[in-house]
Structure 1
Amino acid sequence: MKKSIIIILGSITFATLFYNHSLGLNTALYALFLIIALAIMNTKSLLKPSIIASSMGMIASSIAIIMHGSGMAMLCYFLSVFLFIGMVASSQASIYVAWLNGLYNAFFGMFHNFIFNIKKIKEENEPKYAAAQIARITIIPILLISLFSYLYSLANPVFAEWLGFIDLSFIDGFWFFTAIIGGFIMANIADPQALTPLTDDDIQTDNILLPKAQNENQQLKTKNELQLGTFSIAALNVLLVIVLISEFMFITNIKDFAASELSSAVHSGVYASMVSIILAVVIIATFFRGSLNFIKENGTLKTLTFLWIGLNALLIASIFIKTSLYMDQYGLSMKRIGVVVYLALCMIGLVTTYFKVQHRLNFVYLWRRNLTISFVIVSLFSLFNWSAVVTEYNLKNDFVDNKQLERLLPQNALILKEYGYYDDAQELNNKLGYSSARYWEEHFIDRDWQDFNYIAYKIKEGNQKKDND
């Protein structure tokens, strides 16, 4: 009975919050409903750290949607929802397995026993009426009453006249369809189950490499691989030192380069570093994937590897300096902020690679740790209204680009208003050449309580004051 009530409440809540509404306050309310509902159904796992962390991430991203509603905040919200459901299914699973469990339960959760051919053992205290029975004793009588009322109205004009006084125009078929979808989702996730083979393998897989016994041929192969790795990493160190010298010369003489050369150097440097850092991690992980970690002669290779990691960190620092200088001269953009975030992720990737070599960890460790840290950083990044930050910085420093200001709408609307670029949709259209300004205003600003958004609220409040004046 408890599960049936939660499913019914889930369908009503989902339809009430999301039917014919944009994302806003409804995301936070639905997140709170999910936390309470799954806590009731899974009381034992309520206080587990991974579940608490994923629920906090879900609430945080929903607040970001309320405050500015960026696409990144919406993406992180959905990822956090799936992560939360997956963690309730198995709190010990890695983040990527938790996502898979969350997706699986959202679409196929109530078919879990059928898919895996699990025979459910009935408990002595199991309620007599399940959700299907409740649906039968409510929907079937309603259908029968509707059918016979129609037949009786054909046979009796007076009864037909009485029925005519009943106004059913308030009934919205699409609302009920949305409610059915919400009930289906709630039925799937009310008691989430893990994908047992995948989740069990993940939990049982440790991060630490273990030595394996080797015969003579295998030992010879490992020594040959050690020799190959030592010469390869040594050569790459020499090459990277030369590159860093050229980077230093470029940065110290950056004023001598034309704007096009600086732009090309920054963009090419970012893309090149993206490939080189990923390749560096892959190469190191490949050489230190197994027995090479445990032979006594690997000291030189490890030293060269640590040196290469350090040099790659210097390369990242040089790219960051060039990006900073570029932003000082040409202003901020979302892409340039993204570059800074990417460089931070690259630096973290190098740190985790260092720990992988130093502590004899496996590739699974790199995958788990880097994916978790990346998701946390991107989630924290999504909490801020970067469109507003970019707009304010550029307007304050006279880096005005109308097309960029247009692309950053509606998250930068309040900043545009502060700097006199936006008093109404027509003025926005005139200053930015934004041909769909009226469409944007009508579809973003006019909201109900379910899809409340702070920026839309402030813009609408300002418009109302202007009309009153």
Structure 2
Amino acid sequence: MPRAFYVLLTAVLLQNYLFYNQSAGLNVMAFSLLVLGLVYVRKTDSFRHPTIQLSVLGLLLSGGSASLYGGSTAVLLYFASLFLLVGYSSVPRLSPYVSAFNGMLSSVGLASFEAGSQWFASSNSKPTHRQLIRQFRILLLPFLITIVFYGLYYWANPDFSLFENSYTLDTNYVLLTILGFIWLPALLFPYSAQLFTKADLNLSNTVTRIRSRYSGHLLGLKWEYRQGVAMLGMLNLLLLVFLGFESSMLNKGRHAITASELSQSVHDSVNVLILSILLAISLVLFYFRKNLNFFPKNRLLVQLAYTWIVLNLLLLGITTYTNTLYIQNYGLTYKRIGVYLWLFLTGCGLLSTLYKIHSKKSNAFLFRVNSWLCYFVLILLTAVPWVEVITQYNLTKARTRDVSYLFQLMPYNLPQLQAYTTTHSELKDTFIHQTQAFQNRYRKRPQTWQSWNYADWKINQYIETHPFSK
């Protein structure tokens, strides 16, 4: 336990060095290496398990994005990656969401409480108690002599003060230290909620046949099969008619003349898609949760489920096309990119549901796979310079230019907007004001390696080498 305490103390001091009065930058990536070192100290063979390897990859990718761009989204995903790694360092075979939940519980103080309990328990034993007394007696006399000599030196020169000038600790430093002692023990003494952990470990990725008979007509397997066939058949027919109606309306979206028409069309399609996909997946999860996977004559039900998923994929394609029309006419925005993200994840969910039926996988498998997929897709998206992409598309390809929106995205599209304002003099004053505001914020930031990030450095270098005059 003393060794673990010294490791924890060192980790807290390093955390303070990296983040005290600093903003997100290279310190995030450096802290990732510290976190991995603590996990390795706790258990040297931790990185052999695939789930821990995936969580380490997510931590490094999200940390890299935070170091490059320093954005709030990347930092938020970085904290999620920390929770995930903490949870998996305790129990590697959990689902991602359960592991992240355990990591969050560990980080809010439960791990530090457990570590403190172990420390006090070990301190009550006779060998540890005697060792502490012996170390105290060894250090007591040198400490007192040092204090005496410090008093003599201070008497000789009152300007020599170690406490008033050089090592004054402010409230932020104290709070950061306390925070470190609360959450960093999670990497050395991770906590797991036994109720959720045991329940998740008991869920298999593959459906197994239950060798038992149902009692009663309503609970019979044949009755459930017939009900599923009737329900999926009706829903397939209804969705097929709806798809035909939507297809006939595509020309209207292609020739729409106002943003409100296309906006309403996209919003309605997305809302319908959300409800439809949730219903589709819920029905599949219900009917293929147990023995219907092994029912000898379930071929028709499986075919109807496949058809239901394929028709939902077609609905997804129509919504994607409508959103594309909207973007072609009125430009790219973060919300419209978010629609694409939702459509992509929805398609992945439908395909994974198709695989679940074909391979007789369990519902737990579906949730686990899609959790990992969402996690890594979000991390990869944070590594894309979306401000530059949005500005480039809207200035070169969009039929309608919302320049005011592009100015809201500054400063990371500054080079593109500077080229644009050379031919639009009415925007020069706004451009200069936004540029100066960024420079003022940049100069107020700590000019240290911990707070350095590539995006801000790149824009500042561009401003210094490309002066803009009225």
**TM-score above 0.5, yes or no:** yes
Counterpart of 2:80?
79
TM-score by length of 2: 0.84
Distance 1:48 1:160 in 2: 61
Letter in 2 for 1:224: W
Letter in 2 for 1:307: T
Counterpart of 1:192?
190
Aligned partner (choices 102, 105, 109) of residue 111 of structure 2: 109
Distance 1:450 1:284 in 2: 50
C-alpha contact (below 8 Å) 2:68/2:453 kept by paired residues? yes
Letter in 2 for 1:248: S
Distance 1:377 1:99 in 2: 17
Letter in 1 for 2:190: P
Distance 1:419 1:284 in 2: 52
Deviation string, structure 1 residues 138-172 (Cα, Å, up to 9, x no partner): 999989988x999x89xxxx965644432532324
Segments of 4+ in structure 1 off by > 6 A? 113-116, 118-130, 132-146
Deviation string, structure 1 residues 238-296 (Cα, Å, up to 9, x no partner): 11111111222222453343323222111211121112111211122122223333333
Letter in 2 for 1:262: L
Counterpart of 1:39?
40
C-alpha contact (below 8 Å) 1:428/1:437 kept by paired residues? no
Counterpart of 1:374?
374
Letter in 1 for 2:179: I
Q: CA deviation at 1:134?
A: 8.8
The DSSP-based 3-state class of the residue aligned with 2:204 is: coil
Distance 2:134 2:321 in 1: 66
C-alpha contact (below 8 Å) 2:86/2:190 kept by paired residues? yes
Counterpart of 1:336?
336
Q: CA deviation at 1:56?
A: 2.0
Q: CA deviation at 1:120?
A: 7.3
Structure 1 residues 256 and 456: alpha-carbon distance in aligned structure 2, compared to 1, 3 A threshold: closer
Q: CA deviation at 1:123?
A: 11
Distance 1:140 1:73 in 2: 51
Counterpart of 2:161?
166
| Structure-to-structure mapping, 1:27-426, within 5 angstroms | 27-107=28-108, 108-112=110-114, 162-166=157-161, 168-174=164-170, 175-212=173-210, 213-217=212-216, 220-259=219-258, 260-397=260-397, 399-417=400-418, 419=420
Counterpart of 1:424?
none
The DSSP-based 3-state class of the residue aligned with 2:407 is: helix
Structure 1 residues 159 and 299: alpha-carbon distance in aligned structure 2, compared to 1, 3 A threshold: closer
Q: Which moved more, 1:132-141 or 1:351-360?
A: 132-141
Distance 1:344 1:143 in 2: 68
Letter in 1 for 2:363: F
Structure 1 residues 200 and 127: alpha-carbon distance in aligned structure 2, compared to 1, 3 A threshold: farther
Q: CA deviation at 1:456?
A: 1.4
Letter in 1 for 2:111: G
Structure 1 residues 386 and 459: alpha-carbon distance in aligned structure 2, compared to 1, 3 A threshold: closer
Q: CA deviation at 1:92?
A: 1.4
Structure 1 residues 255 and 180: alpha-carbon distance in aligned structure 2, compared to 1, 3 A threshold: closer
Q: CA deviation at 1:52?
A: 2.2
C-alpha contact (below 8 Å) 2:67/2:453 kept by paired residues? yes
Distance 2:53 2:410 in 1: 34
Structure 1 residues 179 and 226: alpha-carbon distance in aligned structure 2, compared to 1, 3 A threshold: same
Q: CA deviation at 1:352?
A: 1.6
Q: CA deviation at 1:126?
A: 8.6
Q: CA deviation at 1:88?
A: 1.2
Structure 1 residues 136 and 229: alpha-carbon distance in aligned structure 2, compared to 1, 3 A threshold: farther
Distance 1:115 1:240 in 2: 59
C-alpha contact (below 8 Å) 1:70/1:411 kept by paired residues? no
Q: CA deviation at 1:433?
A: 9.8
Structure 2 unpaired stretches of 5+:
none
Letter in 2 for 1:171: Y
C-alpha contact (below 8 Å) 2:86/2:186 kept by paired residues? no
Deviation string, structure 1 residues 297-346 (Cα, Å, up to 9, x no partner): 33222211111111111111111111112211211111111111111111
Distance 1:236 1:455 in 2: 50
Distance 1:12 1:33 in 2: 11
| Structure-to-structure mapping, 1:413-452, within 5 angstroms | 413-417=414-418, 419=420, 430-431=429-430, 438-444=436-442, 446=445, 447-452=447-452
C-alpha contact (below 8 Å) 1:51/1:87 kept by paired residues? yes
Letter in 2 for 1:112: E
Letter in 1 for 2:368: R
Q: CA deviation at 1:386?
A: 1.2
Deviation string, structure 1 residues 172-217 (Cα, Å, up to 9, x no partner): 4233442343244323322324334432332232122223311441
C-alpha contact (below 8 Å) 1:94/1:368 kept by paired residues? yes
The DSSP-based 3-state class of the residue aligned with 1:395 is: helix
Q: CA deviation at 1:20?
A: 1.2
Letter in 2 for 1:188: A
Structure 1 residues 253 and 113: alpha-carbon distance in aligned structure 2, compared to 1, 3 A threshold: same
C-alpha contact (below 8 Å) 1:69/1:411 kept by paired residues? no
Q: Which moved more, 1:347-356 or 1:1-10?
A: 1-10
Distance 1:449 1:49 in 2: 33
The DSSP-based 3-state class of the residue aligned with 2:40 is: helix
Structure 1 residues 463 and 439: alpha-carbon distance in aligned structure 2, compared to 1, 3 A threshold: closer
C-alpha contact (below 8 Å) 1:331/1:394 kept by paired residues? yes
Q: CA deviation at 1:388?
A: 1.8
Letter in 2 for 1:357: I
Distance 1:81 1:228 in 2: 45
Q: CA deviation at 1:390?
A: 0.7
C-alpha contact (below 8 Å) 2:207/2:290 kept by paired residues? yes
Structure 1 residues 142 and 271: alpha-carbon distance in aligned structure 2, compared to 1, 3 A threshold: farther
Cα RMSD of the aligned pairs, angstroms, is: 3.9
C-alpha contact (below 8 Å) 1:413/1:455 kept by paired residues? no
Counterpart of 1:456?
456
